[in-house]
Structure 1
Amino acid sequence: MKGPALLLAAIAVFGVLDANGKLLSGAYPVGQVISMRYIVLLPVFFALRGLWPGLGGRFRTAHPGLHALRIASMMVSAASFFLGFRHVSLAEGYLVFFTAPFMTLALAALVAREPVPRAAWFWCAVGFGGVLVAVVPKLGGGGSLLGFAWVLLGTIGFSVTQTVNRQLKGESGLAMLVVWPGLAGLLIFGPLAVRDWVAPPPLDLAMLMANGLLGGAAVVLSAAAYRHADAARLGTYGYAALPVSVALDFIIWGRVPDAATQLGGAVVIIACVMSERARRRTLSAAQGTSVGNRCVPSGINGKGVTARTAASGSGP
């Protein structure tokens, strides 16, 4: 359960990051918000590395192309979600974001060539159905098409990032996951921040700085999750962002979840539980087949027997 647990933690942190970004989006430009994230994150990382030499591993990689793709998708995702949530509510934005498990499964099958069992697709669809039950009634008032487009672009970037994370699972350490995206973020968004800088009061400055710690934690947790489990296993857990968004809506904006939201949340939880049960049944069946076909060393009569026939008490 290490992979799912890490992903659930990442989703919770991403939710807080999105809520914090939405609170800031009306007053601050995208360049300032995102560059502040890395202005905070990089010094914190190097300070920790100074206290614990070697923390995070090496800065070298055997897959520079994959890291470049990951950096690009991270920058697109960060900017797009920030701009999208400026125009739409968390609930509306998350409706689009919940296509991410399908995208991640498709990329895992088409690009990473990972086997995706039918049960994973089925329970992923059930989870998306739960999201529709919860969110569609809230769309009656309409929403910004531009906002939806930004969130969709961010979702594509997020899905690409998770797929690349899985392909980089063999690399040890997390330094490459933090430092190079941080430097790229400063190079891309730093000039925009200087051009459009808005002087923040102390509370807003603290919120801007918190984005750095939240963003770094979310990136590390999600990358670690895909190093411990494949997309087929983790796909359905992406829908756990629904109860996270409901909780944040209540805590920050005082919105009480209605009956549709509660029902949709229940469906999402059931889909997550059943997806994990289906995975375990598939794994047990595969292990049973492997054991059943495993050869046992020959007996004294020189004839080999299989574990299955030996267990049944009859020879070949």
Structure 2
Amino acid sequence: MADVKPFAPASAHGALAPIASAVLGIGLLSVMDAAVKYLAPDFATSQLVVLRYFFGVLSAAIVFFANGTRWPDLATMRPHAWRSVVVVITAGSFYYALSTLPLAVTLALSFTSPILIALFARLTLGERPGGHVALALALGFFGVLVVLWDQLAQASGGTVFGAVAALVSSVCYAIAMVSLKWRAARDPIPTIVLLQNLFACLLSAPVAALQWSLPNGGQWILFAVIGTLGTVGHLCLTWAYGRADASRLGVLEYTAFIWAVIIGFLVFAEWPTLGTLAGAALIVAGAILANRTPRIPASRAPDAEIGP
């Protein structure tokens, strides 16, 4: 057994803590996505994935050993290995989309994931999100449609594969986050994050080796930053998903669009259009509506294991 105990449900007093942790994690991952987009023209998608998780392993290992966490047994590692297959597909398809689409458009397409998270959580975790959560999902998704209507109309035919990749990533991301909720009730945070990075790195390494391009000094540093941001971001999300319903936290994924608009403007000189801002306003309204009640119901840990 690991030294760190599984999570306890959030109290009414600390109900907002998982929300804050999830928003912080999403923000850090959005910055990571921007760094990946910056490097994408110079490297194959498989190399972006393997180096992101290689440096993720290093930073996750520091947290793992600093906490004195014991190495998991095979029964614990097996579901994480299956989950990492989905994680690699998520990262690979999303990084490909980042290389072909503007940052804001890629994030907008990925925002189908909160709806899928709520659906999968209902089917597999037995969660019953309230009506206000369903309304928030609808409001946020309508905001995504506004963005897509405004921006994808200007896209060329060459972006079609990128759009499909973003949607594939969205489906896989929803599966990965619901399975994260499943494991967060059972395993210590350092174990979850370390195994996710380790297995994802090993799975993506063979393909990356065939498409390898040697980074320069500055690019190595940026890859290290990407790995660290990914690890800290997932630590925040894992902590949040261990204390709140996946369907409720899923709505907060929409806040990544706000990060995308800010980063796109500052780093890539992508000016937000009126449609982009209108969609963002709807997205924020949905996130606020979903979290208008202070109490987050405790989740029941399922009895079944994830994966075959």
TM over 0.5: yes
**What do residues 251-302 of structure 1 show as CA deviations (whole Å, max 9, x unaligned)?**
101223232222222222222222212x44897xxxxxxxxxxxxxxxxxxx
Q: Give the structure 2 partner of residue 139 of structure 1.
A: 152
Aligned to 1:89: 102
Assess if the C-alpha contact under 8 Å between 2:180 and 2:238 holds in 1: yes
How far apart, in 2, do the equivalents of 1:153 and 1:238 lie?
Answer: 16
Measured after TM superposition, the shift of residue 115 of structure 1 is 1.1
Measure, in 1, the Cα distance between the counterparts of 2:185 and 2:113: 23
Q: Which has the higher contact order (CA 8 A, sep 6+)?
A: 2
Distance, in Å, in 1 between the alignment partners of 2:194 and 2:64 is 12
Summarize the Cα distance change of 1:13–1:264 in structure 2 as closer, same or farther, 3 Å threshold.
Answer: same
Q: Match of 1:116?
A: 129
The 1:196/1:125 distance shift into structure 2, 3 A limit, reads same
Instruction: Provide the rounded CA distance (Å) in 2 between the counterparts of 1:48 and 1:170.
Output: 19
Q: Unaligned regions of 5+ residues in structure 1, if any?
A: 284-316
Residue 77 of structure 1: aligned partner:
90
Give the Cα separation in 2 of the matches to 1:13 and 1:104.
20
Cα deviation digits, residues 36-86 of structure 1 (max 9, x gap): 223322233334555x3515x552375555323321111111111111211
Where in structure 2 are the equivalents of 1:249-264 lying within 5 Å? 249-264=264-279
Offset at 1:178?
2.5
Determine the structure 1 residue equivalent to 2:36. 21
Matched, 1:128 2:141: yes
In structure 1, C-alpha distance between the alignment counterparts of 2:67 and 2:36, rounded to whole Å: 33
Q: Which amino acid aligns with 1:259?
A: L
Which string of whole-angstrom CA distances, capped at 9 and with x for unpartnered residues, describes residues 81-125 of structure 1? Answer: 111211212222122201001000000111111112222111111
CA distance in 2, matches of 1:96, 1:215: 20
**Which sections of structure 2, spanning at least 5 residues, go unmatched?**
1-15, 298-308
Partner of 1:104: 117
- Quick one: distance in 2 between partners of 1:65 and 1:118? 36
TM-score of the pair, normalised by structure 1: 0.81
Shift of 1:35: 1.7
The answer (yes or no) to whether the contact 1:59–1:175 under 8 Å persists in 2 is no
In structure 1, the partner of 2:209 is 194
Q: Could you tell me how far apart the structure 1 residues matched to 2:85 and 2:204 are?
A: 13
In the other structure, the counterpart of 2:48 is: 33
Code of the aligned partner of 1:5: A
CA contact (8 A) 1:91 1:135 kept: no
Closer/same/farther in 2, CA of residues 64 and 39 from structure 1, 3 Å limit: closer
State the secondary structure of the residue aligned to 2:19.
Answer: helix
Aligned to 2:302: none
Matched position secondary structure for 2:58? helix
Whether the 8 Å CA contact 1:35–1:193 is kept in 2: the answer is: yes
1:186 partner letter: C
**2:68: which partner in 1?**
54
Worse overlay, 27-36 or 258-267: 258-267
1:58 and 1:173 in contact (8 A); partners too:
no
Aligned 1:1-316 pairs, distance under 5 A: 1-50=16-65, 52=66, 54-55=68-69, 58-60=71-73, 64=77, 66-143=79-156, 144-277=159-292, 279-280=293-294
**Matches of 2:274 and 2:96 in 1, distance apart?**
30
The separation in 1 between residues aligned to 2:59 and 2:294, in whole angstroms, is: 39
TM-score under structure 2 length normalisation: 0.83
Q: 3-state DSSP class of the match of 2:42?
A: coil
Which residue type is aligned with residue 237 of structure 1? L
Q: What's the C-alpha RMSD, in Å, of the aligned pairs?
A: 2.2
Q: Which amino acid aligns with 1:91?
A: A
Q: Which amino acid aligns with 2:17?
A: K
From the superposition, tell whether residues 175 and 275 of structure 1 become closer, same or farther in structure 2 (CA, over 3 Å): closer
Number of paired residues? 280
Q: Matched residues, percent identical?
A: 23
3-state secondary structure, aligned to 1:16:
helix
75 and 155 in structure 1: CA distance in 2 versus 1, 3 angstrom threshold: same
* Aligned-partner SS, 2:127: coil
Query: Does the 8 A contact of 1:96 with 1:152 survive in 2?
Result: yes
Q: Comparing 62-71 with 253-262, which one deviates more in the overlay?
A: 62-71
